[in-house]
Chains A and B, each alone.
Chain A
């Protein structure tokens, strides 16, 4: 069921989107260690945003949802020009804005404003609320008359519910509660009459009893000022109230996007399904879900091959990108589960050092430890397979045999999932069709 407030929202007009993002990439380079630099070795690259295409339509709320490390915040910051794009395009009202110099961006920011997660850190503790909220007008040289400035600040404070404004104008952020600070931050964003508001986790630091009020305020403002929102969050429960469309992000890419109703009614990507299942429900009849994906969001400096989600995915199969590190996971998960069992030490000795598996590759060549035979490892792996043949890992194994002094384990070739239309949404998942080429 959709809440009323959101149902009232006007269907966004088809036609030219307000923001059009195409194949956007934002890479951060990581410096290697001092020793690396001495020998001229390059540091790695973190692809925080890795080829994202998205439209934000005028008047809609687009929810950008993901866990920490998904790149959702970097995407928002790239859009605002706070981080430089490494490639791709961002059009705002039909005009290319990625790569603009900071001076030009500053003008643009009159139209695109941002509300960050932590209201305590967003306000300068040494500035009164009147100074902080009026600051953007001064920066942009839009209001020089002090009385006029104060009047405009009063207006906007009352608009966000900080009424009577006189009670707040000369207060410092330290005098305000978290919810009041977040209202002041919203007032400061609003005072320039922006078209687009990027809201990055605006309620996640607030108490449950306050979240609803801030969300309601934001919905009312959107209606009254014809705003467009990019709502960045990890929380699919608040997004449900707030968003017309949803884009789910995982490790720098969009994995599912479409109308909010469609995504909540019938989530397609196993990651979206897991995110929804994991939300704790205030219903004692429901126990903590036991079938959650294992592990955590992997290191973006060295993402998994194929689909980034495959190591955690309960439905992964042949083309999803099986590789050496998945073998390490398989063994380590088993050894953790069997902790205390003498078999663990025997198996560890037979397999030897696992560090060789950390270099991602769909072809594994493991040499047996000194004095051991590769056949022992093959036999062990076959035993593990026999114990749990349903484990998705085995679907990715093409060849497993002893070959000379080595264990040879070849996986199916990894394929990168691309966003493809399925019913009313777009999904990047091989379950809905595997591309011809990798």
Chain B
């Protein structure tokens, strides 16, 4: 990680549902995001990556309980009141969602969206100043000044997402969380938006947490990545190292099952991600893991730090003294039906 962390999550837990039978969507996640750093968070649907993104910003729905620490500027966001959190959102922490149309008010002009955002945080701004700052940010996102007074429906999907990003950036946040920001866009427009996001650190000095299911996007636009499985970070480290030599079998299998132009054979991961109410004992990936050992369904893996600074949650990397004698033998796997998949 480069520079001091902007934000540090420490053993963050987010549970949904009843206290007796909670869904452990995020279950003990530790993650740092450095200044101007682009961190990719990947995993299959239902792994808890969106909940983690919202948990970091304190944007959890009613009924969710968070525990642990999210340290930002010396304060723990988990214990802040919703009023204090609201004050941080915008000038400090921003969020970009997947569906831009549902996040813009169809009755408000783009100019009004910007006025509202800017005045909320600084009521003393003059109209001219609001306009100048809005147009400058919109321009960097490729939206011309001639369209400032238009309504959301007058824009295409890609332009709406550009507007959403500009709205999040106009207050110059330290950290932007982007949750699948390109999933509903066409591939060329997706590329355009990713290029804009990848330039945030140069143009705005903003750190970015990019949540996606697409490993290609992580490879091309992120500095560091965290692979999430069943509420936990399975592996975290610099993108180059992780792609060159994935340490966790889940990372490796996920990479192999990505279909790209360079793919030469189809591959998939047997089985499906577990439910998070009653996850498998030991390592949560062990029922699908081709490398599972007997220890893997008995004991929870202990996070290991590799020589290159990567963190990995897998018994293959030890500590060997904690593996009971003989438990390093391969695990007999239960048969997985051909259709038991996500």
A interface, CB within 8 angstroms of B: 1, 3-5, 67-68, 160-163, 177-180, 183, 206-213, 215-216, 234-238, 240-241, 264, 274-290, 292-294, 296-297, 331-333, 335-340, 344, 348, 354
Contact = CB atoms under 8 A, between A and B. Distances in A.
29 contacts: A161-B338, A163-B338, A177-B342, A180-B341, A207-B213, A208-B215, A208-B259, A209-B257, A209-B268, A211-B268, A236-B261, A264-B261, A274-B188, A279-B216, A280-B190, A280-B214, A281-B220, A284-B239, A287-B198, A287-B220, A288-B220, A296-B158, A296-B159, A332-B144, A333-B142, A336-B143, A339-B140, A339-B145, A340-B135
A216 B266 contact: yes
A215 B144 contact: no
B138 A288 contact: no
Contacts of A297: 186
Contacts of B187: 67, 234-236, 275, 278-279
A354 B145 CA distance: 12
Nearest to A209: B269
Contact of B243 (A215, A284, A348): A284
Interface string B82-123: 000000000000000000000000000000000000000000
Nearest to B215: A282
Contacts of B221: 287-288
A208 B254 contact: yes
Interface string B236-263: 0001100110000000011101111111
A207 B254 CA distance: 10
B257 A208 contact: yes
B268 A240 contact: no
A178 B217 contact: no
Interface string B112-155: 00000000000000000000100111111011111100000000
B184 to A, nearest CB: 9
A335 B145 contact: yes
A277 to B, nearest CB: 8
B238 to A, nearest CB: 9
A183 B339 contact: yes
A179 B186 contact: no
B44 interface: yes
B195 A292 contact: yes
Contacts of A235: 187
A254 B266 CA distance: 29
Which of A68, A277, A340 has the largest count of B CB atoms less than 10 A from its CB?
Answer: A340
B265 interface: yes
B130 to A, nearest CB: 14
B260 A282 contact: yes
B258 A282 contact: yes
A276 B218 CA distance: 18
Interface of B: 44-45, 132, 135-140, 142-147, 156-159, 186-192, 194-195, 198, 213-221, 239-240, 243-244, 253-255, 257-269, 272, 337-339, 341-342
Contact of A296 (B44, B136, B147, B156): B156
A69 B240 CA distance: 36
A3 B217 CA distance: 23
A282 B268 contact: no
Contacts of B218: 282
B215 A296 contact: no
A222 B338 CA distance: 18
Contact of B219 (A241, A281, A331, A337): A281
A231 B3 CA distance: 48
Nearest to B244: A284
B7 to A, nearest CB: 23
A-B pairs, 8 with minimum CB distance: A339-B139, A280-B216, A332-B144, A67-B186, A212-B266, A340-B136, A212-B268, A278-B191
Given A209-B341, A237-B260, A240-B261, A215 B214 contact: no
Contacts of A163: 337-339
A352 to B, nearest CB: 11
B39 to A, nearest CB: 14
A211 B259 contact: yes
B186 A5 contact: no
Contacts of B157: 296
Contacts of A294: 192
Given A1-B264, A241-B266, A292-B195, A282 B255 contact: yes
A348 B243 CA distance: 48
B144 A209 contact: no
Nearest to B262: A281
Nearest to A274: B188
A21 to B, nearest CB: 24
Given A5-B266, A216-B266, A234-B186, A210 B342 contact: yes
B263 to A, nearest CB: 7
A283 B144 contact: no
Given A5-B266, A210-B342, A278 B190 contact: yes
Contacts of A183: 339
A178 B342 contact: yes
Given A67-B187, A240-B263, A339-B137, 19 more contacts: A3-B264, A68-B186, A207-B44, A207-B45, A207-B342, A208-B215, A234-B187, A237-B259, A238-B259, A279-B216, A280-B219, A282-B255, A284-B239, A296-B156, A332-B144, A335-B146, A338-B139, A339-B135, A340-B136
B220 A286 contact: yes
A67 B253 CA distance: 29
A348 B146 contact: yes
Contacts of B272: 177
A212 B262 contact: no
Contact of A209 (B147, B240, B254): B254
B195 A290 contact: yes
B127 to A, nearest CB: 15
A332 B257 contact: no
B257 A212 contact: yes
Contacts of A354: 146
A344 B220 CA distance: 34
Contacts of A275: 187-188
Nearest to A176: B339
B179 to A, nearest CB: 16
